[in-house]
Amino acid sequence: MLISIHREFLTYPIHRNIHNYGNISDNSPVNRLKKLTHYLNPFAYLGVKKYSVFFPLIFSLAVSLLSEIFAYVIVQDPNIVGIYIIFLNVATIIYFSFRDGIRGGLITTLISILYYFYIIYTRHYHDQQLTSGIQTTIILGLLYYLLALIIGYLKQRIDSLIEREGDEKRRLQAIIQQLPVGVIITDHKGRVVEGNKQVDYILGQQLELGTVTGRDTLATAKFNNKPVTPSQWPLAQALATGKSVTDKEFTLHKEGAKPIFLQISASLITNKQGKTIAAASIINDITIQKQLEKRKDDFVNMASHELKTPITSMKLYVDSLDMRLKNKDEKTSRIIEGLKYQTERLQKLVSDLLDVSRLQTGKLTFAKEEFRLDSLVSETIDELQRITPNKKIIYTVRSLIKIYADKFRIYQVLTNLITNAIKYSPDNSDINISVGKTDRNALVSVQDFGIGIQKDEQKRIFDRLYQVSSDKEKTFPGFGTGLYISKEIIKRHKGNIWVESELDNGSTFFFTLPLKNKEKLK
Ligand code: ADP
């Protein structure tokens, strides 16, 4: 069950609306008091670019009127009265600059100064008293003006910033909602603060905001057929490890529906100081892709099985034709050689396809034995050198190495790498092959000086049926199966395979095999 917290909980108060302070039709005293407090509270207007003229004007006039009554009817001491009026005016100016910006502050300043002149005029000041009264009023007027300007300006800047932040949030939300993939954003503790409708659609239920990834069970998802614990969820993993998680695949089982396949990535969002402030996750429904892949696999499986028998018979027929025709002329011999070569190629392609589908279905078996790796490399080179006389294959043996592995499958890897080196490099260029040892592994390298592989392609060439698509490669035949099969074989021997390459400068493929690997291979 996804936890239940209301969606509103997550939607930030992007734009604080000054009129949004209760039900308008509710005229209870409490509600009226609430409305009044909200109306008077200057903080309630932060981010609201609505500046009142009427309220500061009326209020300042009322303050002046009250001051007049208070000062000259009740207290009647000019010294105390002066200080009191100045204090009251400063407070009013600060209040209105903060509530209604520069305009509010200036209106209050103007009323205060006019009131001072009113005092000078009505109290009939003259000579020295009049001059100092006017001077004081001008100085105070300037100070009030400055005060109103500074506070009013700051208030208006804050409003603009809040408004801009709100606009950006709204823009981001609109983009997130439009995306064709599911997006979840959490705070730094993994609490969901934003999710788009695609997430709800994919999960088949509303993703409740406030769900804590890593703590709350999200759904009955399975990863490699095992139930997913909340901490395995990519968002939780990214937050726990501080590292992004890319393209993790899950199967999601929804009640009463067929399982769907998800590909999920998660990454952290950091502030300028590099501190994690949030995390974002992208959820992609790859069910259709998976179905297409399955159909492709089924087709490859069926086609390779169906092709295997007629091609094997073809090969037998060609061989027996070759034996039966004793006195062939040169042309017939060439035709038969061509037939043999093409049938063998066809046989190799079909057997590669069969291996791919066996790997997919887990039916590729290994027969382990102990053998000398350096000798196997040497035999493979001899065999390939014979059929490619225009290449110089240089072999360096750094140590004599015994390993425990499937000899035929390792031979298959070597043939793949060496034929690729031949295929993807110009005639008459060298190929360097070496066999050596590291602490625990045998290390084989196959180096060519051919077309090389771009950085971003280097990982993908080991994917199933992947071929680099550029003009240069178009002239090379192949299915893109060789490296995938090689990688799987090496992986299942608990070894490693990788490439170091530079475009136009050649490639070196490496693979390792454990020296002591007597355990049963998978
Ligand atoms: P295939 O050679 O049948 O296309 P592979 O799986 O053996 O399939 O190789 C996959 C891709 O990797 C090739 O299409 C090619 O683009 C690239 N590649 C493999 N080996 C080399 C190499 N030695 N130099 C340059 N590119 C290579």
Cβ–ligand 1 distance for 483 under 6 Å, the answer yes
461 within ligand 1 shell (Cβ under 6 A)? yes
Quote the ligand 1 centre to 415 CA distance (angstroms): 13
Tokens matching residue 40: 């008077």
Tens digit of each residue's pLDDT, the chain (522 residues) = 333 333 322 332 333 333 344 454 567 888 889 988 988 898 888 888 889 999 999 999 999 998 888 877 777 766 677 888 899 999 999 999 999 999 999 999 999 999 999 888 887 778 888 898 899 999 999 999 999 999 999 999 999 999 999 999 899 889 999 999 999 999 998 899 889 999 988 887 787 788 887 776 656 677 777 777 777 888 888 999 999 999 888 888 877 778 889 999 999 999 999 899 999 999 999 999 999 988 988 888 898 889 999 999 999 999 999 888 888 888 999 999 999 989 998 998 899 989 988 888 888 889 999 999 999 999 999 999 998 999 999 999 998 999 999 999 999 999 999 999 999 999 889 999 999 999 899 999 999 999 999 998 998 999 877 777 665 545 556 678 899 999 999 999 999 999 999 999 999 999 999 997 554 444
Which residues make beta-bridge pairs with 394? 432
13 CB burial (10 A radius; 0-12, 13-18, 19+): exposed
506 ligand 1 Cβ < 6 A = no
Question: Which helix or strand (DSSP H or E) is residue 12 part of?
Answer: none
What separation in Å is there between the alpha carbon of 299 and the centre of ligand 1?
Answer: 23
493 Cβ partners below 8 Å, 6+ apart? 366, 405, 406, 409, 410, 513, 514, 517, 521
Compute how many other C-beta atoms are within 10 angstroms of the C-beta atom of residue 233. 28
Chain CA centroid to CA 204, Å: 23
468 CA from centroid of ligand 1 (Å): 7
Task: Establish whether residue 322 lines the binding site of ligand 1, counting it when its CB lies within 6 angstroms of any ligand atom.
Answer: no
Distance 362 CA to ligand 1 centre (A): 24
Pocket test for ligand 1, best of 483, 488, 507, 510 (most atoms within 8 A of CB): 483
Atom 16 of ligand 1, nearest CA residue: 468
CA-closest residue to ligand 1 atom 3: 478
Tell me the three state secondary structure of residue 231: helix
| DSSP symbol at 228 | P
Query: Looking at ligand 1, which atom is closest to the CA of residue 478?
Result: 3
Q: What is the pLDDT of residues 271-319, one digit of tens each?
A: 999 899 999 999 999 999 999 988 988 888 898 889 999 999 999 999 9
Cα distance between residue 16 and residue 21, in whole Å: 10
CA 484 – CA 353 distance, rounded (Å): 11
- Per the CB < 8 A criterion, the answer to whether 343 and 283 are in contact is no
| Phi, psi (deg, nearest 5) at residue 53 | -105, -40
What is d(CA 152, CA 150) in angstroms, rounded to the nearest whole number?
6
Under the phi-then-psi rule, with left for phi > 0, alpha for psi from -120 to 50, and beta for the rest, what region is 518?
alpha
Three-state SS annotation for 253-295: CCCCCCCEEEEEEEEEEECCCCCEEEEEEEEEECHHHHHHHHH
- Alpha-carbon distance values, 195 to 60, 117, 442, 490 (Å): 48, 61, 50, 42
CB 514 within 8 A of CB 440: yes
Burial, 178: exposed, middle or buried (Cβ in 10 Å; 0-12, 13-18, 19+)?
Answer: exposed
- Spatial CA neighbour of 151 closest among 98, 213, 95: 98
Nearest CA to ligand 1 atom 4: 480
Ligand 1 mean position, distance from CA 508 (Å): 12
Going from the Cα of 283 to the center of ligand 1, the distance in angstroms, rounded, reads 32
List, for residues 208-252, the tens digit of each pLDDT value.
Answer: 788 887 776 656 677 777 777 777 888 888 999 999 999 888 888
In eight-state DSSP terms, residue 474 is G
User: Exposed (0-12), middle (13-18) or buried (19+): which is 23, by Cβ within 10 Å?
Assistant: exposed
Q: Is the pTM of this model over 0.75?
A: no
CA contacts within 13 A on the Cβ side of 28: 6
| Pocket flag, ligand 1, residue 448 (CB < 6 Å) | yes
